[in-house]
Structure 1
């Protein structure tokens, strides 16, 4: 399922996550940590994979179209249920 969100909204979700969340998401979803970081705007493609994130320049950091929302949904679940 694809989702459109502003880059600033995506970063706000990332910034609200507790410390260690990138590692926990990676472990839970069996991904490299850098792949999860790339999903939230990182650019370390030597260590992690591309995540199907397409950015179009514009206000609020631009518009991001996510090809797969699994990481985003996992992050939102972590915010709603921190433990």
Structure 2
């Protein structure tokens, strides 16, 4: 399921995650931690992979189009911000 979110909103969710959440998400989805970080706007493609996010310039850091929301939904659960 696709979702549009501002980059600032995406980073706010990442910054709200409890310690160890990136590792937990990576284990649950069988991904490298750097790949999960890339989902939240990181750019380490040596140790992690691209994860289906597309960024467009704009207000609030720009608009991010997420091809798959599973990682976002899990992060929201862990951060206590699930909608």
Measured against the shorter chain, the TM-score band is over 0.9
* Gap regions ≥5 residues in structure 1: none
For 2:72, the equivalent position in structure 1 comes to 72
* Gap regions ≥5 residues in structure 2: none
Q: CA deviation at 1:39?
A: 0.2
Q: What do residues 49-79 of structure 1 show as CA deviations (whole Å, max 9, x unaligned)?
A: 1011100001100000000111101101112
Q: Are residue 42 (structure 1) and residue 35 (structure 2) matched?
A: no
Q: Quick check: which one's helix share is greater?
A: 1
How does the TM-score come out when normalised to structure 2?
A: 0.93
Q: How many aligned positions are there? A: 81
How does the TM-score come out when normalised to structure 1?
A: 0.93
| SS of residue in 2 equivalent to 1:14 | helix
The structure 1 segments of at least 4 consecutive aligned residues displaced by more than 4 Å after TM superposition are none
| SS of residue in 2 equivalent to 1:27 | helix
Q: What do residues 3-23 of structure 1 show as CA deviations (whole Å, max 9, x unaligned)?
A: 000000000000000111110
Which stretch has the larger CA shift, 72-81 or 23-32? 72-81
Q: CA deviation at 1:80?
A: 2.5
